A and B are shown apart, each in its own frame.
Chain A
């Protein structure tokens, strides 16, 4: 066997949902194998949850991920409400869906920016993050926090969206829609982005089924699964929208799915705001006295895919067992399919395409050759490799004009 070079990506960033280390085993430019190491920052949240009351667990699971900090409480609320057979009011359903969709918009904008950065489009990166800011401001207006919104509780939500705030939200959404047009145009019509992302990091339908991948990763490979449609919760059955899919399964298809999903999210929020206007009365939260014995399977569609919470209640005031599965848990495993056989320059964007935790990918450590101990590549050099490839393609395209 020929000697392979090891390129580690990681290991961790303490702010992230999943600190991780990717070891790319390369033969020359080509990635031959990939290994994944985790647990650097294992927080034992499943065990910790057993020592908290149902009300407290919301604050705990909200902190699993900083970017999708409403999808975990969302799934947990669905699980507990299933055990206790609670049907929340329509007003609470609308508010929950608004929060869920605003989060999807800001998360997808963040992804578009970072994907641009990896390809060498720093302008795209700065634009996308600039347009994300007003969405975070909306969160601050609604919940008081730009992140970790603390909006969810068993039986409803904690804070109302008053009528005076509705025009403000609508105005921001109109702006975001215009900016999304701009970004979609910039990504979809650029020949260089086409050259860099089409046919790169392909996942077939069979790969998706085999690894159980979810969310935009699955939908970009033509597997139309979306918990919001399949197992509707909150206000999703009350509004019109469609599941976005693509067939190619490459990085471009994943970008396409995310960009088009933002329009659907905007559309859902607009309908929910109209719903709030109609449902003027109605409590935002029901009084829940106790959670009976039983099991609950709570699901919610996070920006990255299905979040699954399994809660076992023994009739006491805290869960007897709380199993959490974040979407990246199944999506990251697909790297074995999407990265092997690619060049190192394409590995960065292939890893980024499933939208894992970015800071991890950002913090690519200095790498050493396993056998000689010789330094081979550091973080910025790895990104430079990707940027260089983009520039080469730009030059080729320019010379053909």
Chain B
């Protein structure tokens, strides 16, 4: 029931930003939104609804660079994935690290491994390979024919 309520609230607030909603079950929901809305969506979830930021996963597909932001509503056991698809040639999105520290390291890691640019990140230096990896080479990028 809570899942439906959440989706209703979400639709009401971000009507024009939602691209797709996938409900696997009451505890696993995935919502694809426009990248521009990520700050507002995260602020709504973290500040207003009390979600915890678990981590974010980036992946490189034929559509471009995708990021799944995983949020957890612990009292419901719910994992909510906020999914965005970024441009293939110039992947960039607003950083969430000014809102919560939990995303600081993972954004640095995604920047390092995928070359995704996080705008307004407080300190976007390398996390894993500081000083021993070539500039401009991103190990988890793929080559598509």
Which residues from chain A contact B101 at a C-beta distance below 8 Å?
210-212, 333, 336
Q: Give CA–CA (A210, B139) in the complex, Å.
A: 30
Q: A320 to chain B: which residues have CB within 8 Å?
A: 59
Kindly list chain B residues whose C-beta atoms are within 8 Å of the C-beta of A211.
100-102
Contact among A212, A312, A321 with B54 in the assembled complex (CB-CB below 8 Å): A212
- Assess A295 versus B75: contact at CB under 8 Å? Given A38-B128, A42-B128: no
Residue pair B128, A297 in contact (C-beta under 8 Å) = no
Are A209 and B52 in touch, CB under 8 angstroms?
Answer: yes
Q: Is A37 located at the chain interface by the 8 A CB criterion? A: yes
CA distance A325 to B74 in the complex (A): 17
Residues of A near B79 (CB, < 8 A) are 231, 297, 299
Chain B CB within 8 A of A44 CB = yes
Judged by a CB distance under 8 angstroms, whether A82 is at the interface is yes
Q: Which residues of chain B from 67 to 122 have any CB-CB distance to chain A below 8 Å in the complex?
A: 68, 70, 72, 74-79, 81, 100-102, 104-106
Q: Could you tell me the distance in whole angstroms from the C-beta of B21 to the nearest C-beta in chain A?
A: 14
Q: A39-B127, A295-B30 are in contact. Are A308 and B55 (CB under 8 A)?
A: yes
* B4 at interface by CB-CB < 8 Å: no
Q: Number of B residues whose C-beta is below 8 Å from A?
A: 34
Bound Cα distance from A320 to B78, whole angstroms = 24
Q: Pick the contact of A231 from B52, B68, B77, B106 — CB < 8 Å?
A: B77
Chain A residues with Cβ under 8 A from B59's Cβ? 312, 320-321
What are the interface flags for B48-63 relative to A under an 8 Å C-beta threshold, 1 for contact and 0 otherwise? 0000111101010000
Roughly how many angstroms separate A47 CA and B24 CA in the complex, as a whole number? 26
A312 to B, closest residue via Cβ: B59
* Residue A46 interfacial (CB < 8 Å): yes
Contact status A225-B74, CB under 8 Å? yes
CA distance A306 to B74 in the complex (A): 11
Q: Which residues of chain B come closer than 8 Å to A329, judged between CB atoms? A: 55, 105-106
Residues of A within 8 A of B30 (CB): 295
Tell me if B102 and A330 are in contact (CB < 8 A). Answer: yes
CA distance A196 to B57 in the complex (A): 40
Closest to A294 in B: B24
Residues of the A chain whose Cβ atoms lie less than 8 Å from the Cβ of B143: none
Asked if A212 and B53 make an inter-chain contact with CB atoms under 8 angstroms apart, the answer reads: yes
B137 is an interface residue with CB less than 8 A from chain A = no
The verdict on A130 contacting chain B, using a C-beta distance below 8 Å, is no
- Tell me whether A152 is interfacial, beta carbon within 8 Å: no
A39 touches B77 (CB 8 A): no
Chain B residue nearest to A336 in the complex (CB): B101
**Residues of chain A lying within 8 A (CB to CB) of residue B139:** 44, 47
Residue A323 at the chain B interface, CB threshold 8 Å: yes
Contacts of B11 in A (CB 8 A): none
With the chains together, A392 CA to B57 CA distance in Å? 49
B15 in contact (CB, < 8 A): no
How far does the alpha carbon of A330 sit from the alpha carbon of B70 in the complex, in Å? 14
State the Cβ distance, A351 to closest chain B Cβ, in Å. Answer: 17
- Tell yes or no: B28 within 8 A of A by CB: yes
Counting CB contacts under 8 A, is A230 at the interface? yes
Contacts A39-B128, A308-B54, A325-B54 given; indicate if A230 touches B75 (C-beta within 8 A): yes
Interface residues of B in 21-44 (CB under 8 A from A): 24, 27-28, 30
Instruction: Assess the A230–B74 pair: CB atoms within 8 A.
Output: yes
> What string of 1s and 0s marks CB contacts (under 8 Å) between A33-45 and chain B?
0000111001010
Question: Which residues of chain A are within 8 angstroms of B6 by Cβ–Cβ distance?
Answer: none
**B9 CB within 8 Å of chain A:** no
Nearest residue (CB) in A for B25 is A82
Q: How distant is the Cα of A80 from the Cα of B126 in the complex, in angstroms?
A: 31
In whole angstroms, what is the CA distance A211 to B140 when docked?
26
Check if A210 sits within 8 Å of B102, measured CB to CB: yes
- By a CB distance below 8 angstroms, the chain A residues around B106 are 325, 329
A242-257 interface mask toward B, CB cutoff 8 Å, 1 = contact, 0 = none? 0000000000000000
15 of the cross-chain contacts (CB-CB < 8 Å) are: A39-B127, A39-B129, A47-B139, A211-B100, A211-B102, A225-B74, A230-B76, A231-B77, A232-B77, A308-B70, A310-B68, A310-B70, A323-B55, A330-B102, A333-B102
List residues of A whose CB falls within 8 A of some B CB.
37-39, 42, 44, 46-47, 82, 209-212, 225, 230-232, 295, 297, 299, 306, 308, 310, 312, 320-321, 323, 325, 329-330, 333, 336
Residues of B within 8 A of A (CB): 24, 27-28, 30, 52-55, 57, 59, 68, 70, 72, 74-79, 81, 100-102, 104-106, 126-130, 132, 139-140
Q: 6 tightest CB-CB pairs across the interface, nearest first?
A: A212-B102, A231-B77, A39-B128, A323-B57, A325-B55, A321-B59
